[in-house]
Amino acid sequence: MPFIERDHTADILMHVWGETTEELFSEAAGALFSIMFPSCRPGNAHQAFTLSADSYEALLGKFLSEIIYYAEVECEGYTSADVRINGFTLEARLSGEPYDPARHAGGTEVKGISRSGMKIEKTMRGYETDILFDV
């Protein structure tokens, strides 16, 4: 699991890493899924979308916000994100299952992604960032 929760006073702060930017984004989605959909399993729900931004930080914020949007609008719980990045354009395919409140209770609603202080850094293990999930 290439993400860990860090202490934060009010929201959920996760430290995420991956060997590539694509892996970092996929793991960031996994961190979000672990908060929102801890009991969801892979299934037949899929969403695909493309986004562009002017930096990796802006792209990551838009990507995670788009996942929250699709989860709410489509009533789906996601378990994985296949991510392709070319420059500052991202193509994503989410997979999961239809959301069932009786089976999937226990997750935490994420209202948004705080972009304040988000910085993606190149490190010895690839790329790393802290993400503050507003709950």
Q: Distance between CA 6 and CA 56 in Å, rounded?
A: 22
In the chain, the amino acid numbered 9 is T
Q: Are 126 and 24 in contact (CB under 8 A)?
A: yes
Q: pLDDT tens-digit profile of 24-79?
A: 999 999 999 999 999 999 999 999 999 999 999 999 999 999 999 999 999 999 99
Quickly state the pLDDT bin for 103 (edges 50, 70, 90). confident
Residue 90 maps to a domain: yes
Predicted local confidence at residue 8, as pLDDT = 62
Range in 78-82, 98-102, 109-113 with the lowest mean pLDDT: 98-102
Quickly state the pLDDT bin for 102 (edges 50, 70, 90). confident
- CATH code, domain with 113: 3.55.10.10
Quote the number of domains for the chain.
Answer: 1
Residue 5 maps to a domain: no
Q: Regarding predicted confidence, which is higher, 115 or 88?
A: 88
Predicted local confidence at residue 106, as pLDDT = 83
Mean pLDDT over 103-115 rounds to 89
Predicted local confidence at residue 9, as pLDDT = 66
Predicted local confidence at residue 97, as pLDDT = 96
Residue 3 maps to a domain: no
Q: Distance between CA 74 and CA 125 in Å, rounded?
A: 35
Average pLDDT over all residues of the chain: 93
Buried b / exposed e over 27-59, threshold 16 CB at 10 Å, is bbbbbbbbbbbeebeeeebebeeebebeebeeb
Label each residue of the chain as H, E or C: CCEEEECCCCCEEEEEEECCHHHHHHHHHHHHHHHHCCCCCCCCEEEEEEEECCCHHHHHHHHHHHHHHHHHHHCEEEEEEEEEEECCEEEEEEEEEECCHHHHCCCCCCCEEECCCCCCEEECCEEEEEEEEEC
Domain range holding 92? 12-134
Q: Is the pLDDT of residue 131 over 70?
A: yes
